[in-house]
């Protein structure tokens, strides 16, 4: 069911974040510890990172190869440095096409997005109801067929129609809307979501039926001082905190943390 991580803090190269930890995202791709379904995450991966000196939009690198099979990533990881990073390894839901249009992270303008979870029987339940809620711009932006991209589209639609809302407020509203829709269409939603605008990380750990997929955070870990990491599974031994179920965690550039219940 995919593994993800998000980083905000002092600038860091991708290499120590992706490769050096004993239970790194690379290791989690083939030996995860806390996945609720699936065995490996071999259906591609993706990374988003920001360099606000070069503009507000993220750089995106993704591939449909397993992360351990991409021979270009080690050298790229030594070169790329950022203070705001999203990374993701995919275990595709049965029936979903394995191509770039369905690969995460998804991007819209300055926002990047990753999702661990699923809408059960998405095509038979919430696919059309979600699309009916979207304005033309967001509807036409969708390029793939995953539940993940459609959840992101709901968030974008909420921000587009309510420009005064914060990402946290929009995410809260979307999660409640998904809960209501899931009840109406007799399905369930697992929604560990992470959104960044380059200056802030906002994440949810949420499920319409318990348990929600695992999610943790740690601040000022020894190997990564002056930072906050949010991850599906702890990367190293340390003082990792479990994100409580049905909550939203947000982290600013100064690594201030706020957690609110949904």
> How many CB atoms are closer than 10 A to CB 57?
18
Contact between residue 231 and residue 5 where contact means Cβ atoms under 8 Å apart: yes
Nearest CA to 114 among 52, 47, 41, 193?
A: 193
Residue in 1, 2, 182, 207 annotated catalytic: 2
Q: DSSP letter string over 57-83? A: SPEEEEESS-GGG-TTHHHHHHH-EEE
**Is 255 known to be catalytic?**
no
Contact between residue 91 and residue 38 where contact means Cβ atoms under 8 Å apart: yes
Contacts (Cβ under 8 Å, ≥6 apart) of 22: 235, 236, 237
Report how far residue 218's alpha carbon sits from residue 109's, in angstroms, rounded to the nearest whole number.
28
Angle in degrees, 0-180, between the axes of helices 167-184 and 147-161, rounded to the nearest 10: 130
Q: DSSP letter string over 174-229? A: HHHHHHHHHHHTT--EEEEEEEE-SS-EEEEE-BSSSPPPP-EEEEEETTEEEEEE
Which own/partner pairs from 181-184 qualify as long-range (CB within 8 Å, at least 24 positions apart)?
A: 181/126, 181/129, 181/130, 182/119, 182/125, 182/126, 182/208, 183/208
Residue 128, helix vs strand vs coil? helix
Active site residues: 2
């Amino acid at each position: 069911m995919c593994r993800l991580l998000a980083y905000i803090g002092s600038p860091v190269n991708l290499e120590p974040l992706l490769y050096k930890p004993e239970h790194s995202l690379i290791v989690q791709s083939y030996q995860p510890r806390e996945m609720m379904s699936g065995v490996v995450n071999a259906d591609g991966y993706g990374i988003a990172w920001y360099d606000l000196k070069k503009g507000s939009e993220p750089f995106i690198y993704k591939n449909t190869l397993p992360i351990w099979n991409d021979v270009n990533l080690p050298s790229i990881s030594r070169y790329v440095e950022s203070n705001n990073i999203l990374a993701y390894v995919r275990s595709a839901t049965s029936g979903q096409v394995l191509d770039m249009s369905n690969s995460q992270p998804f991007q819209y303008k300055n926002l990047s997005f990753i999702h661990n979870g699923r809408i059960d029987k998405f095509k038979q339940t919430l696919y059309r109801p979600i699309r009916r809620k979207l304005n033309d711009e967001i509807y036409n932006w969708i390029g793939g067929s995953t539940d993940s991209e459609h959840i992101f589209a709901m968030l974008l639609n909420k921000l587009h129609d309510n420009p005064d809302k914060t990402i946290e407020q929009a995410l809260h509203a979307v999660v409640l809307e998904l809960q209501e829709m899931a009840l109406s269409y007799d399905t369930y939603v697992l929604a560990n979501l992470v959104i960044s605008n380059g200056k802030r990380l906002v994440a949810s750990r949420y499920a319409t039926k318990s348990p929600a997929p695992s999610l943790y955070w740690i601040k000022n870990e020894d190997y990564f001082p002056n930072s906050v990491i949010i991850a599906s599974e702890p990367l190293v031994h340390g003082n990792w905190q479990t994100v409580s179920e049905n909550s939203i965690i947000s982290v600013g550039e100064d690594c201030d943390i706020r957690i609110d219940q949904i």
